[in-house]
Amino acid sequence: MLITGGGAGAHPRWFAAPGRLLDGIVCWARGFSADFWRFFAAAFFFDFGFGLFFFLFSLYLTDLHFNERSIGQIMASLTLGNVAGTIPAMFAVRRYGLQKPLLLSFFAAPLLCSLRVFALRQQEQVALAFLTGIALCCWPVCFSPAVARFPNDRNRASGFSIVFATGIGLGCLAGLAGGYLPRMLQSHAAEGLFIAGMRSVLLLACGIVLLGILPLWKMARDTGPVVSMRALRLFHPFLFRFFPPFIIWNVVTGSFTTFGAIYLMKIIGLPLTRVGAVFSFSQLLQFFAVLASPVLFRRFGTLKGVSMAQAATGIFLLLICSTKSAAPSVVYFLGFSGVQWMCGPGIYRYLMDHIPEPERSTAWAVQNISGALCQAATAAVTGGCIVHFGYSAVMIGNAVFALVAAAFFLALPRGAEDAQEMLMTGESTPSPTN
């Protein structure tokens, strides 16, 4: 009876807690507009579908006997298409609002990607990659304005956190799915070949992205201007000092990273399932690296923190090329992925601190296009270098570039945060240059 009585007395309180939690979640969700959740659903399909597609596609091309040089040229063409379409996409968003450009991107990009699955010639792949880049450019142009527009002033920061955290989580899920689904679908394919399983997954990924059209179609129609374009100078003088180390660093991020999955599978000999698991875990490390980067910058200052992370990236590259054993290669690759992502928040915050507020959007667009062009050229050159000189030479070259970038960033004028850190450590403080 004591047990029964105790259970009966605790029963309402025990089962009331999940009900209150559910009510709290529903109340919190209602704090966001319906259009926010429709855009969130579209972003869910976009991130998972294209995360799955682009994880597998370079490996699929190697099974079609494309070498690293060809894959680098194809990836460079994709980036060039994205750059070429950015400014027209900005004007389209300004003229038609968010919904129509997004619908165009969600319809055209997966259809072009499905055509890429069946293209067997280099020229076809390059042309389709360029068109895919143009079709995809509406997404980054619309993404930030949409996330900033649909929530209210009180929950806008939460809206960004929800969408970004979900994107990282879906990147992990896409890596795991890309590792296991091809084997599962291989037995159902007519040819019974592994490449047929990969083809089925790639087409499935395109279909997942197309599902994003449904929530976008129900979004409120808008025709007002979303992206404001002011008549400001295109090139702030500070960018002349910022761009040399920034471009050098983009050579590092656009080189070996592009061929990481191929290296683990082709050189180290990992099966696709383990490559998928490695890339899923690297997504988690990138997430925690971004969260940990403010601690690094508060402890050492922004420029010192960025330089330390860049130097660590170079060291991990040297460690990767020093071994062909699977276990240490995976550990070093994960370390390389993590510390590389620690640099981004510091670099972009440093840039914004040195640009006047009215010119920040223009400076951001210029650095974004410049970085994309640099990475496109780097991917194309890296593919040829791998074919001629091998992966070790490329990784050593990347490590040298990372160390040079670290030295160049350390020589930049210090921002307010670095100046405060220098005063605390007793160093002389140079005046920042605007």
* Residue 266 within a domain: yes
* Domain end among 223, 252, 268: 223
Q: Is there a domain that residue 19 lies in?
A: no
pLDDT bucket at 422, cuts 50 / 70 / 90:
very low
DSSP 304-355: HHHHHHHHHHHHHHHHHHT---HHHHHHHHHHHHHHHHHHHHHHHHHHHHTS
Which of 21-30, 209-218, 267-276 is least confident? 21-30
Helix axes of 272-300 and 302-321: crossing angle, nearest 10 degrees: 150
Would residue 370 count as lying in a domain?
A: yes
* Residue 314 vs residue 276, higher pLDDT: 314
Residue 246 shares a structural domain with residue 201: no
Range of the domain at 358: 236-429
Based on the structure, what is the number of domains in the chain? 2
Residues 249-271 have pLDDT tens digits of 999 988 888 888 889 988 998 88
Considering the domain architecture, whether residues 207 and 337 belong to the same structural domain is answered as no
CA angle 395, 173, 109 (to 5 degrees): 80
Band of residue 423 on the pLDDT scale cut at 50, 70, 90? very low
Average pLDDT of the residues in 160-165 = 64
Mean pLDDT comparison of 230-234, 266-270, 348-352, highest-scoring range:
266-270
**78 and 218: one domain?**
yes
Co-location of 204 and 71 in the same domain = yes
How far apart CA 67 and CA 74 sit, in angstroms, is 11
Strand, helix or coil for residue 77: helix
Compute the average pLDDT of residues 76-80: 88
Judge whether 7 lies within some domain. Answer: no
Last residue of a domain, one of 223, 249, 279: 223
Q: Are residues 143 and 242 in the same domain?
A: no
**Most confidently predicted of 25-29, 31-35, 115-119, 239-243:** 115-119
Which pLDDT band, with edges at 50, 70 and 90, does 399 fall under?
very high
pLDDT tier, 348 (very low <50, low <70, confident <90, very high otherwise): confident
Whether 424 has a pLDDT exceeding 50, the answer reads no
Element (H, E) at 419: helix 416-425
Residue 212 and residue 249 share a domain: no
Given a contact cutoff of 8 angstroms between Cβ atoms, the answer to whether 280 and 175 are in contact is yes
The answer to whether 377 and 245 are in contact (CB under 8 A) is no
Give the model's confidence band at 7: pLDDT under 50 very low, under 70 low, under 90 confident, else very high. Answer: very low
Asked if 367 and 246 touch (Cβ cutoff 8 Å), the reply is yes
pLDDT tens-digit readout, 109-161: 999 999 999 988 999 999 999 999 999 988 877 776 677 677 665 665 566 55
- The pLDDT, as a whole number, for residue 161 is 57
- 226: pLDDT strictly greater than 50: no
Does 119 share its domain with 183?
yes
250 shares its domain with 208: no
231 falls within a domain: no
| 431 — pLDDT class (breaks 50, 70, 90) | very low
Q: Are 146 and 39 in contact (CB under 8 A)?
A: yes
Could you tell me if 276 and 142 lie in one domain? no
- Domain boundary (223, 255, 281) is at 223
- Mean pLDDT (whole number) for 200-219: 92
Tell me whether residue 14 is in a domain: no
**Range from 8-12, 29-33, 262-266 that averages highest in pLDDT:** 262-266
Shared domain for 247 and 315, answered yes or no, is yes
**Least confident range of 51-55, 189-193, 258-262, 306-310:** 189-193
| Domain presence at residue 228 | no
- State the CATH number of the domain containing residue 55: 1.20.1250.20
Instruction: Looking at the structure, tell me whether residues 208 and 287 fall in a common domain.
Output: no
Based on the domain organization, do 40 and 82 belong to the same domain? yes
Question: Residue 55: which residues within 8 A CB-CB, separation 6 or more?
Answer: 174, 175, 178, 261, 276, 279
Is there a domain that residue 5 lies in?
no
